[in-house]
Each structure stands twice: as structure tokens, then as C-alpha cells.
């Protein structure tokens, strides 16, 4: 979504040509006192074609093929900016564009166009006169594009009847999104109850299942490695390079103790499932607050690590199951730990306020104290 800034310029003396507005016909001298001047309309080209559903103003709408980028626009209103010519005004449209998953996108003011009820485009002035004018910007997980667009419209325009379109590229003949006063607001979706739609495919047959807070040992009486996870709790995640915008964190504290020899533990040995058996995503390189990659644990020197998994923001997951695999590539686990919300209090808590055996499972809508960062 890259584009070069296209400026609209014309001699100031030709005011109607400058702003792309004209009368519906050529005025001629009138001999009747009852004749009216033709209505002034926008005529800076034809509105783009659009075959999708039109959204209500202020509704967030995906504007990219993977739905990673969303935008919302306000209803156009007349601004207090100086009029560019007699009979014309500057209309303003507020814009907010953000990335909801991963990605980096270019946001261009001319990707937004304004059309009057007849389907004619109203131009943007050569220079945006508004103080917070939207600029060409790069949008990613950490940075949104926020600003105000300026359009030149007839002074008496009823802007509630106008439509704002979004183009994949400035000048494109087809729009990918549209907003109007007659558009539909998005329906309120029920909170999701799963981590994802991805089934694990990992075999649980024969694995020892136990409550969180119970240790599991591999090895023998001479050389062994003991792993003890705490009950998961929720954590807010700030948008950034380590996680997308649309997730909350589920944190699992992990105590690891080696006996008789140096032990080895790796992040990908641990997977988290929701109560329906779906995998919870995570960043293999580590989300904010994660402290385990791959490391050695000296015998007799217990270590504490934190694992961070993702669940959709606002989700309500009823339970968790942590899987422990001897090797990351294995499809069969040796131990699991399970907790269901029905067996505990519905409010998430962290180890700072409760013991691992009694703390309740996390939901993305109930966030506790954050885990220590790296």
C-alpha cells in the first residue's frame, strides 16, 4: 500500500476549477425574479465502484485482504477552516487506522475519498488546512494513523448524505470499504471461548495428568529433572514487535530443578491447550514477560521461568491444559496439567496474591499483576 503524494493544484483565480466543484449548468441572465441559481455539487470525478456492505460512520472496518489493518472514519462535518472560495467550505473527516494483528502498512490520506449523493467526488485541497491533518504514515502494531482529512464541499451541503470510501491505492477505480450515514454498525459478537481454531494433533494417551502446582519428574533416583508449573493467570500485552494487537497474555510460572546432573529445558517443550483442545499461540522468540528460551539448569539450583501464551483479546476460556514434551518435535507428551474454571474462583490472580495450587485460570478480560520481564 504505497503511493506517492498527489497534490491538487490550480490557479486560484479559477476557484471552482481549483476545488473541483461546478454548477449543474451554465448560468444565464434571468429576467424573472423567481429563478434560482443551479445547485452547486462536487464534480472532481466519479466515485469508485463498491460491491460490499457499507458501514456506519465510526465503525472499524477491515481494509486489507488479511483483515490485519482496520480503519474507522467519522461522519463528515463542516470545519471552521477558511473557505477556499465563495460558496465552498472545508469539510473534515476524522480517521483512525490501526493494525490488529501482525504487519506493517503505509497509510495515505488520498486512499480516502468523499462522494456526494450523486456519486461525484469532492476533492482534497492541495494543502490540508486543518491543524491535525492526516499525514502519510507507516502503521504497525505499535503505531496507529490518526488525523483529520480535509475535503472541499458546497457550503450548503448536507454531509450526512455523503459517503467516505477507502481505496487500496490512491486513484484505484474500486473501493475496499465504505462508510455512510445509512451504513450498518457491526453486530456485537459473542466473546470467543477458545484460544484458536487449531487442534493440537498431539497424543495425550498415557500422559500423567495432574493439577497445576504438582511436580513431575523425569529420569531416575540418580539423575532427574523436576518441572512444576503454576496455575495460568492473565496478563495484558502492549502492542509491539513481540505480539500482535488483538491478543492478551496467559502466563504460566515454571519451577525447574535438576538432580545429579545438569538439566536442559526448552521453551518449545511446553504447549498450552484450551479446554476444547485447541492450541494457544505464542512467540517462539518470546513475548513480553517471557523468560525461557533454552537453558541449562545446574543441579541443586532451582530456576524459575515464565511462559507467555496468547488468547484472543476479550475471550473467555473455561480451562487450560499444559503439555510437557520430552523433545519439541515429539507428538506425544509425558505429562499434562489441567485446571477448569468450574473448579476455581472466576477471578484470575497471580502468584503474588495466591498460591499456585489455588490461583484461578486466566481469562483475557481479567488481567492480574504482570510477570517479571526479562
- Which pairing describes strands 112-115 and 233-235: parallel, antiparallel, or unpaired? unpaired
Q: Is the pLDDT of residue 321 over 90?
A: yes
109 domain residue, yes or no: yes
Predicted local confidence at residue 141, as pLDDT: 78
Dig out the grid coordinates for 369 from the structure: 499483576
Number of folded domains that form the chain: 2
pLDDT in tens, 13-39: 333 334 444 434 444 444 444 444 445
Q: Is the dihedral of CA 374, 231, 269, 314 positive or negative?
A: negative
CA 219 to chain centroid: 44
Q: What percent of the chain has pLDDT over 70?
A: 79
201 domain residue, yes or no: no
Dig out the grid coordinates for 144 from the structure: 496507529
355 domain residue, yes or no: no
Q: Is the pLDDT of residue 50 over 90?
A: yes
221 and 337 together in one domain: yes
85 and 165 together in one domain: yes
Nearest to 216 by CA among 78, 1, 208: 208
**At which of 143, 160, 180 does a domain end?**
180
168 and 19 together in one domain: yes
Cα separation, 148 vs 128, in Å, equals: 9
Cβ neighbours of residue 141 closer than 8 Å, sequence gap 6 or more: 99, 102, 103, 239, 240, 241, 243, 244, 245
User: Which CATH number characterizes residue 226's domain?
Assistant: 2.60.40.1240
21 domain residue, yes or no: yes
DSSP-assigned beta bridge partners for residue 166: 112, 177
Nearest to 269 by CA among 253, 291, 250, 284: 284
174 and 55 together in one domain: yes
**At which of 162, 180, 198 does a domain end?**
180
Residue 106 belongs to what domain range? Answer: 15-26+36-180
109 and 160 together in one domain: yes
The arithmetic mean of pLDDT across residues 225-248, rounded, is: 88
217 and 320 together in one domain: yes
pLDDT in tens, 85-126: 999 999 999 999 988 877 789 999 999 999 999 999 999 999
Predicted local confidence at residue 221, as pLDDT: 84
160 and 276 together in one domain: no
Where does the pLDDT of residue 127 fall: very low under 50, low under 70, confident under 90, or very high at 90 and above? very high
The arithmetic mean of pLDDT across residues 207-219, rounded, is: 93
165 and 41 together in one domain: yes
Predicted local confidence at residue 355, as pLDDT: 34
Nearest to 56 by CA among 188, 174, 163: 163
- Integer CA distances (angstroms), 352 to 213, 343, 369, in order: 15, 21, 8
Cα separation, 254 vs 230, in Å, equals: 6
Q: Which of 3-7, 249-253, 354-358 holds the top average pLDDT?
A: 249-253
Q: Is the pLDDT of residue 237 over 70?
A: yes
113 and 49 together in one domain: yes
The arithmetic mean of pLDDT across residues 48-61, rounded, is: 94
224 domain residue, yes or no: yes
Structure-model confidence comparison of residues 326 and 19, the more confident one: 326
Model pTM score: 0.56
Q: Is the pLDDT of residue 129 over 90?
A: yes
176 domain residue, yes or no: yes
The arithmetic mean of pLDDT across residues 299-323, rounded, is: 93
Q: Is the pLDDT of residue 183 over 70?
A: yes
89 domain residue, yes or no: yes
pLDDT in tens, 255-301: 999 999 999 999 999 999 999 999 999 988 888 999 999 999 999 99
Predicted local confidence at residue 229, as pLDDT: 97
Question: Taking all residues of the chain, what is their mean pLDDT, rounded to a whole number?
Answer: 81
Q: Is the pLDDT of residue 331 over 80?
A: no
153 and 227 together in one domain: no
Predicted local confidence at residue 362, as pLDDT: 53
43 domain residue, yes or no: yes
Q: Is the pLDDT of residue 137 over 70?
A: yes
139 and 228 together in one domain: no
132 and 226 together in one domain: no
pLDDT in tens, 160-178: 999 999 999 999 999 999 9
Structure-model confidence comparison of residues 314 and 180, the more confident one: 180
Amino acid at each position: 500500500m504505497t503511493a506517492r503524494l498527489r497534490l491538487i493544484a490550480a490557479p486560484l483565480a479559477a476557484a471552482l476549477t481549483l476545488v473541483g466543484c461546478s454548477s449543474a449548468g451554465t448560468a444565464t441572465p434571468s429576467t424573472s425574479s423567481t429563478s434560482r441559481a443551479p445547485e452547486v455539487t462536487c464534480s472532481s470525478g466519479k466515485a469508485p465502484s463498491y460491491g460490499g456492505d457499507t458501514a456506519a460512520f465510526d465503525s472499524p472496518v477491515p481494509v486489507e485482504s488479511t483483515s490485519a489493518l482496520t480503519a474507522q472514519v467519522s461522519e463528515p462535518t463542516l470545519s471552521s477552516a477558511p473557505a477556499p472560495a465563495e460558496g465552498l467550505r472545508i469539510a473534515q473527516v476524522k480517521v483512525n487506522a490501526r493494525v490488529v494483528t501482525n504487519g506493517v502498512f503505509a497509510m495515505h490520506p488520498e486512499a480516502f475519498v468523499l462522494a456526494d449523493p450523486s456519486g461525484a467526488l469532492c476533492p482534497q485541497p492541495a494543502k490540508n488546512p486543518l491543524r491535525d491533518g492526516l499525514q502519510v504514515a507507516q502503521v504497525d502494531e505499535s503505531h496507529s494513523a490518526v488525523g483529520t482529512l480535509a475535503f472541499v464541499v458546497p457550503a450548503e451541503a448536507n454531509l450526512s448524505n455523503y459517503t467516505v470510501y477507502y481505496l487500496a491505492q490512491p486513484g484505484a477505480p474500486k473501493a475496499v470499504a465504505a462508510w455512510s450515514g445509512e451504513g450498518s454498525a457491526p453486530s456485537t459478537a459473542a466473546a470467543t471461548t477458545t484460544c484458536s481454531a487449531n487442534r493440537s494433533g498431539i497424543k495425550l494417551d498415557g500422559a500423567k495428568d495432574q493439577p497445576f502446582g504438582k511436580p513431575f519428574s523425569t529420569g531416575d533416583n540418580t539423575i532427574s529433572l523436576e518441572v512444576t508449573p503454576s496455575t495460568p493467570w492473565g496478563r495484558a500485552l502492549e502492542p509491539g514487535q513481540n505480539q500482535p494487537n488483538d491478543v492478551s497474555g496467559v502466563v504460566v510460572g515454571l519451577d525447574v530443578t535438576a538432580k545429579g546432573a545438569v538439566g536442559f529445558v526448552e521453551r518449545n517443550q511446553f504447549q498450552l491447550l484450551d479446554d476444547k483442545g485447541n492450541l494457544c499461540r505464542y512467540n517462539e522468540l518470546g513475548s513480553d514477560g517471557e523468560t525461557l528460551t533454552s537453558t541449562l539448569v545446574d543441579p541443586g539450583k532451582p530456576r524459575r521461568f515464565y511462559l507467555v501464551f496468547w488468547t484472543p483479546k476479550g475471550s473467555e476460556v473455561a480451562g487450560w491444559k499444559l503439555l510437557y514434551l520430552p523433545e519439541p518435535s515429539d507428538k506425544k507428551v509425558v505429562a499434562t496439567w489441567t485446571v477448569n474454571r468450574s473448579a476455581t474462583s472466576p477471578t484470575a490472580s497471580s502468584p503474588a496474591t495466591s498460591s499456585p495450587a489455588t490461583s484461578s485460570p486466566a481469562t483475557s478480560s481479567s488481567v492480574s499483576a504482570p510477570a517479571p520481564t526479562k
